[in-house]
Amino acid sequence: MKISILVNEGPYTHEASDSAYLFARAALAKGHEVSRVFFYHDGVNNATRLTEPPQDDRHIVDRWSKLAEEHPVDLVVCVAAALRRGIKDENLAPGFRISGLGQLIEAGIKADRLVTFGD
């Protein structure tokens, strides 16, 4: 099954990002294809390399980067939401790219399922 994911919440303000990441990992482990993860609203904060959690906490941004490194998952950040929050190409974490809402529409059309995490 081809799956796309929409993440609407930031990495440390809500469980949505953790849940989306764990869902993506589980889907990949079961042999499903996770073609795209689209980060929208506060979810764009999952993509900034400026995140520095305490050493004893999980590094959610690094988790997403490693996922994209290990699997052909397209991590797309909404340009309008990113710019509103001061996120630009130069401060994106590895594996992420900035693009428009058309990428979300395409993800929904091409996937068998579009799974949303967060409000």
Question: pLDDT digits over 70-100, tens only?
Answer: 999 999 999 999 999 999 999 999 999 999 9
Two tokens at 40? Answer: 């929208």
Q: Which of 15-24, 41-50, 52-61, 92-101 is least confident?
A: 52-61
Residue-wise DSSP of 8-49: -S-TTTSTHHHHHHHHHHHHHHTT-EEEEEEE-GGGGGGGBT
Residues annotated as catalytic (active site), given as ranges: 78
Predicted local distance difference test score (pLDDT) of residue 104: 98
Amino acid at 16: A
> Mean pLDDT, the chain, as a whole number?
97
Q: pTM score, two decimals?
A: 0.96
Structural domains in the chain, sorted by start: 2-117 (3.40.1260.10)
